[in-house]
Structure 1
């Protein structure tokens, strides 16, 4: 698989070289995007697919350091040979709350996974959305969730939260 690690460093700009250096040093990198008028902030990984054959990860509306620390935790789990379940709740991501990982539809890659798309020279990688419940334990697809909380974690699946809710 061709990645930016294979690119001629002379053809990369300073930002590109810095990004590639992070992946060379740590095996992965985090990109954080702040909230704006178009939506909530989010963070995602680049490098999990190359190193482990595990989908990249994206999470919305967590503070940047919390997202980064969570990704490090999951990186270490993958390094130890452990995988998280897809489509069902797990208590192995967050200390005090369950989490669910759902496949991200490729139609969302362009708007949310820019550095990963650049690194992999296209969309030939997988990504999972990391989701967490509100304070009452409701995930974004729950009918009990508030509109504001649902908006904080948009549905990046093929739709209908990967079939977890009926709308």
Structure 2
């Protein structure tokens, strides 16, 4: 694992870190929404789940506004209750009739998708999972039947951009 050299925090970063720590102690984790922009889809991620509950931080990309926050909070609730999430497995009962799966996030994506987490985990030493949601018709981003552009909107945060913890259609979705 490559670590990040942590420079001292400036006063604004220290206030932000203090706020995150208070929230983590009070609620268990902070959920941060990043809106879409000209460079890509919006995303939502957690900060503090690893510190407080020993479960991977989570990120979800490309969902309609507000849905990422709901999904991350449901993940946190289930993780706090003891459920563990394994890459390539299907998990039901997040959204009615739509399952999810998870994949490990490659360290090379941490700074872009978990930037705020670095004020808490100064060396980037936390595990992270991507929560992946298919279309309502059941097409995953890597599926040949997925709508055009879906893989760009909800790309997989592995080194290859495809699932790496399982073989799609063989031992995973």
TM-score after normalising by structure 1: 0.83
Aligned to 2:79: 78
- Provide the aligned length of Structure 1 versus Structure 2: 159
Quick one: distance in 2 between partners of 1:15 and 1:57? 20
Aligned to 1:114: 115
1:16 Cα offset (Å): 3.6
Aligned to 1:3: none
Q: 1:161 aligns with which of 152, 160, 163?
A: 163
Task: Give unpaired runs (5+ residues) of structure 2.
Answer: 1-8, 169-173
Q: Does 1:26 align with 2:27?
A: yes
Task: Give unpaired runs (5+ residues) of structure 1.
Answer: 1-7
Aligned to 2:3: none
CA separation of 1:26 and 1:108: change in aligned 2, threshold 3 A: same
1:100 Cα offset (Å): 0.6
Quick one: distance in 2 between partners of 1:15 and 1:29? 11
TM-score after normalising by structure 2: 0.80
Quick one: distance in 2 between partners of 1:112 and 1:12? 17
Deviates further, 76-85 or 63-72: 63-72
Secondary structure of the corresponding residue to residue 46 of structure 2: strand
Q: Deviations over 1:93-152 (max 9, x none)?
A: 323201010000000011111111221112111100101111221100111112321111
Q: Is the 8 A contact 1:33 1:42 kept in 2?
A: yes
1:61 Cα offset (Å): 1.6
Deviates further, 89-98 or 25-34: 89-98
Secondary structure of the corresponding residue to residue 100 of structure 1: strand
CA separation of 1:11 and 1:135: change in aligned 2, threshold 3 A: closer
Q: Is the 8 A contact 2:17 2:119 kept in 1?
A: no
Quick one: distance in 2 between partners of 1:66 and 1:143? 25
- Give the strand-richer structure, 1 or 2: 2
CA separation of 1:22 and 1:110: change in aligned 2, threshold 3 A: same
- Give the helix-richer structure, 1 or 2: 1
